[in-house]
Amino acid sequence: MLFLSSGFKTPGVDGNSKMKAIFIMNFTKLIEWPKAYRDGNFVVGVVGESPLYSELTKMAKTKKVANQSLQIKKFGSSKDIGKCHILYVSRNKSEDIPSVLKKVKSNSTLIITEKQGLVDKGAGINFIIKNNRQKFELNKKNVEKYKLKVSSNLEALAFTVK
Amino acid sequence: MNKKIYILFVVSILTSSLFGQFVGKDNLSISLFYMQKAELDSAKKYIDFSADDESLNTAAKTWYYRGFIYKELYKKNEKEDKTSPFRLTSIESFQKMLTLEGEEEFRESAHKILKYQASTLYNDAARLLDPENYQTAISNYDKFKSTMLLIDPKTDLRARDIKFKLALASMLNRPAETAEGLDSVQTQQIKSLYIEVLALDPNNPGANYNLAILFYNEAADIINNMDYDMDIMKLNEVQDHCIEIFLEGLPYMKKAYELNYKRRETLVGLSNIYYGLNDIEKSDAYKKELEDLEKE
């Protein structure tokens, strides 16, 4: 009798990125952008290298934000950043937060990071891991100063709210 | 006219002499007579009469010969029939014989025949390990086991059990290698088999590794099928469920690693499981170990 071992599934993406993409999709529904941002494409920028970029690109092929098509952009550094609805700063670019903030200060941009403490340094939302689970911290002030409205539901769902 | 009378006379003499020799003989003796002449269908008829005959069916000899005749019938007519009723009747007859007084006389011979039948059952079970026939394979394997235990109730069948369950699990897992994949019932069925193997041999490397993979793939499937529109409450529930599954698989992959089984694959496995658990530090540590291994 022959014994063959089974193999690993090779999912197109990693689970962590999929979870983050779903969170981001939820943020687009639970945060309100000013009227001027409700036309054209809904732009999500990714600063630095992150597997989330390819996951978001995949999501953009099938999903929309209300009637706006999703557009995913990759920025190599903060100086390349253009107008975005959401800007995701990858872990390896966390040190660039001050220049990112400078770059988007006149825009209505939700800044999302993934490093402990960045929610106190200008990020609106910071992804954290708690008990092996993907969670997020919310700094309402850091969101609202970009003229964005936070739904009370989002506050309720955040791991911590500042 | 005379010729006709002569023929009738000859036929009548022949018939009466054939039956004449059975006058006063019991069904068992008649059966043995036919058996010696290799007329198995007749031998079967009279041995079945004997099995129903109260004066004969308490004798070990009756059941021994019934087992023997049915074994010969199996060999002659049903060798290719993997669910052969003759074979089963033969085994049942020996089983009955072994409970009766006077069985010692026939025990050794009965054991030899039972051993032969057990081996045919085992081989048939192995040959039937395919998606269409595996239920018959399981039934034949169970019959093989019970037959072996008839010969010696202390027979240790653990090694055979492990081998059979691993082969069965491997066969059932074949859809996982295709685009079709496994459904939850199949996954559960295969998991149960590996768990049964590990109950017999906790250090079985293949069962540990494959069970861990099944858990990992189960969680990966759930994640891959999540809709981007899933709300956060539901997402949290799904996360909890996936974490539970990853945690269930982790000890098995760790065990496979400790057993030094498929070093490269177990390192990938541990790295993947820890990644699923969002423990990037540990995931990276195993990834590094894998990179170092590949440099060697």
**What ipTM did this prediction achieve?**
0.91
State the Cα–Cα distance between residues B105 and B101, nearest whole angstrom.
Answer: 10
CB within 8 Å: A22 and B126: no
Pick one of 3.40.50.2300, 3.40.50.920, 3.40.470.10, 3.40.50.1000 as the CATH number of A33-161.
3.40.50.2300
pLDDT of residue B296: 80
State the Cα–Cα distance between residues B171 and B138, nearest whole angstrom.
Answer: 12
Suggest the residue from A2, A5, A16, A131 to mutate for an interface test with chain B (most B CBs closer than 10 A): A5
CB within 8 Å: A15 and B219: yes
A57-78 core/surface letters (b: 16 or more CB in 10 A; e: else): bbbbeebebeebebbbbbbeeb
Domains and CATH numbers, chain B: 27-151 (1.25.40), 165-296 (1.25.40.10)
Residue indicated by tokens 């909890």: B240
Which residues does A143 contact at the CB level (< 8 Å), separation at least 6? Answer: A31, A110, A124, A125, A150
Q: How far is A137 from chain B (nearest CA, A)?
A: 14
State the Cα–Cα distance between residues B213 and B206, nearest whole angstrom.
Answer: 10
- Parts of chain B with a pLDDT under 70: 1-24
pLDDT of residue B9: 45
Q: Is the per-residue pLDDT at A8 higher than 80?
A: no
pLDDT digits (tens, 9 = 90+) for A41-65: 999 999 999 999 999 999 999 999 9
pLDDT of residue B25: 84
Helical H segments across B37-103, by residue range? 40-52, 60-77, 85-97
| Cβ-nearest to B278 among A13, A62, A132 | A132
Q: Residues of A numbered 60-119 whose beta carbons fall under 8 angstroms of chain B's beta carbons: which are they?
A: 62-63
State the Cα–Cα distance between residues A83 and B97, nearest whole angstrom.
Answer: 90
CB within 8 Å: A6 and B173: yes
Distances (CA, A) of B190 to B161, B169, B196, B243: 15, 5, 10, 21
Contacts of B129 in chain A (CB under 8 A): 1
Instruction: For A129, list phi and psi in degrees, rounded to 5.
Output: -110, 125
pTM: 0.84
CB within 8 Å: B279 and A8: no
pLDDT of residue B2: 56
State the Cα–Cα distance between residues B74 and B88, nearest whole angstrom.
Answer: 9
State the Cα–Cα distance between residues B219 and B224, nearest whole angstrom.
Answer: 9
B141-160 core/surface letters (b: 16 or more CB in 10 A; e: else): bebbbebbebbeeeeeeeeb
| Cβ-nearest to B206 among A5, A12, A14 | A5
Instruction: For A113, list phi and psi in degrees, rounded to 5.
Output: -125, 180
Q: What percent of chain A shows pLDDT beyond 90?
A: 86
Residues B232, B262 contacting (CB under 8 angstroms): no
Which residues does A91 contact at the CB level (< 8 Å), separation at least 6? Answer: A48, A50, A114, A115
Contacts of B206 in chain A (CB under 8 A): 3, 5
